[in-house]
Amino acid sequence: FTMMNYERLSVGIQGLSAAQTAYQWSCEYARERLQSRAPTGPTNPNGAADPIIVHPDVRRMLLTQKALVEAGRAFAVYVGKQLDLSKFGEGEDKVRAAGMVELLTPIAKAFLTDKGFEGTVLGQQCYGGHGYVREWGMEQLVRDVRIAQIYEGTNGIQAMDLMGRKVAANGAKNLSVLLDEIRAFCADAASVAGMDEFLAPLNDAVDNLESLTRFVMESVANDPNAIGAAANDYLHVMGFTLYSYMWAMQCRTVLSGESQQGEDFNKAKLQTARFFVQRLLPQTQALSAAIRSGSDAMMDLAEEAFA
Ligand SMILES: Cc1cc2nc3c(=O)[nH]c(=O)nc-3n(C[C@H](O)[C@H](O)[C@H](O)COP(=O)(O)OP(=O)(O)OC[C@H]3O[C@@H](n4cnc5c(N)ncnc54)[C@H](O)[C@@H]3O)c2cc1C
């Protein structure tokens, strides 16, 4: 099992690294490719057009990639640390880390590869038609990352493992440990000036995850399909909540003056975190509403009607 947990994190990192590469390539392309003018007026008046990085929709694609890979890298290190503690740690720390590994491994495999694929496709999209043809390498990257969602246990099976075995079957014991850790972090970080815009959405996301978990666990008594119907969306709610935690930790490092990376880097960290909480984290609300609708809409259609 220890080997399989490392293996699943490795596959997650395969998804993450494809997205990181797609992000770097698409940033470079967006600075060079000239097409249309900026809505606020020309930024390249001597050229035939402006570089596409000026367009809000291109920025959406670039910032989504950046926000997901930077949170994903932090999350991969966080899970790696739990894996190492569960293997090499001692006493309470070892037991606690083993519980975290149980809980987090399906998310590391499935969320990193789902978001890895999404980010890679966004990178490809930045290339327009050049993203579809072979010579730029983007379509190869998309084909290569796609397998990571399928092998080492499909992401659907990872989601069932998370919701069924890792949460519902043990009364959300390990989840409570994680939520306590995040709440303790929020309480501690609240004294750092400027943290509120990152902590308030994180606290809300944690409260939502807790009540959503209770909802699904209570639904199981009357509905055998409850876990299967919720699983994929639940894994994504938890993935976004964890990424919000990763972003808040990075912001605390910057805002408490501990970062050694310089002003430009620190400013970009806060701006990217802001994009994450304002533009990506709200997806948890839509996913949670879908879960709370129950399994009927998914299960009512007769098999013969799938035609
Ligand atoms: C390129 C490649 C390399 C591979 N390398 C290896 C390897 O080195 N070692 C190895 O052991 N395997 C390997 N595999 C196999 C891989 O792990 C499996 O293909 C994968 O786990 C999916 O299993 P399956 O193909 O039987 O799909 P199926 O189990 O038939 O699944 C089909 C679909 O149904 C869903 N599904 C199935 N059961 C359920 C359920 N109970 N509830 C909800 N949804 C369900 C799945 O999520 C999936 O979407 C490789 C596969 C490929 C394509």
CA-closest residue to ligand 1 atom 48: 154
Most ligand 1 atoms within 8 A of CB, residue of 157, 158, 162 to mutate: 157
Q: How far, in Å, from the CA of 151 to the mean position of ligand 1?
A: 6
Q: Categorize the per-residue pLDDT at 232 as very low, low, confident or very high, splitting at 50, 70 and 90.
A: very high
pLDDT computed for residue 146 by the predictor: 98
Mean pLDDT, rounded, for 26-54: 97
Q: How far, in Å, from the CA of 154 to the mean position of ligand 1?
A: 6
Encode pLDDT of 83-93 as tens digits. Answer: 999 999 999 99
Q: How far, in Å, from the CA of 62 to the mean position of ligand 1?
A: 32
**Inter-residue contact 189 to 195 (CB < 8 Å):** yes
pLDDT computed for residue 187 by the predictor: 98
- pLDDT above 80 for 2: no
CA distance 101 to 79: 7
Encode pLDDT of 50-74 as tens digits. Answer: 999 999 999 999 999 999 999 999 9
Encode pLDDT of 136-174 as tens digits. Answer: 999 999 999 999 999 999 999 999 999 999 999 999 999
Most ligand 1 atoms within 8 A of CB, residue of 154, 161, 165, 235 to mutate: 154
DSSP the chain: -HHHHHHHHHHHHHHHHHHHHHHHHHHHHHHH-B-S--TTS-SSTTSSS-BGGGSHHHHHHHHHHHHHHHHHHHHHHHHHHHHHHHHH--HHHHHHHHHHHHHHHHHHHHHHHHHHHHHHHHHHHHTGGGGTSGGGSHHHHHHHHHGGGTSSS-HHHHHHIIIIIIIGGGTTHHHHHHHHHHHHHHHHHTTSTT-HHHHHHHHHHHHHHHHHHHHHHHHTTT-TTHHHHHHHHHHHHHHHHHHHHHHHHHHHHHHTT---S-HHHHHHHHHHHHHIIIIITTHHHHHHHHHHT-SHHHH-S-GGG--
Most ligand 1 atoms within 8 A of CB, residue of 147, 150, 163, 234 to mutate: 150
**Inter-residue contact 66 to 243 (CB < 8 Å):** no
Encode pLDDT of 173-215 as tens digits. Answer: 999 999 999 999 999 999 999 999 999 999 999 999 999 999 9
Q: Categorize the per-residue pLDDT at 1 as very low, low, confident or very high, splitting at 50, 70 and 90.
A: low
| CATH superfamily placement of domain 2-153 | Butyryl-CoA Dehydrogenase, subunit A, domain 3 (1.20.140.10)
Cα three-residue angle 182-152-148, rounded to 5 degrees: 80
Q: How far, in Å, from the CA of 5 to the mean position of ligand 1?
A: 17
- pLDDT above 90 for 114: yes
Cα three-residue angle 55-59-63, rounded to 5 degrees: 180
Average predicted confidence (pLDDT) for the chain: 97
Q: Which atom of ligand 1 is nearest to the CA of 157?
A: 47
* Residues contacting 212, CB < 8 A, separation 6+: 234, 237, 288, 291, 292
Known catalytic residue at 303 = no
Which residues' Cβ are closer than 6 Å to ligand 1? 147, 150-154, 156-157, 160, 228
Q: How far, in Å, from the CA of 153 to the mean position of ligand 1?
A: 6
90, 92, 102, 152: which is the annotated catalytic residue? Answer: 152
Instruction: List, in sequence order, every residue forming a beta bridge with 51; answer none if it has no partner.
Output: 34
Mean pLDDT, rounded, for 235-258: 98
pTM here is 0.96
pLDDT computed for residue 3 by the predictor: 73
CA-closest residue to ligand 1 atom 15: 151
- pLDDT above 90 for 6: no
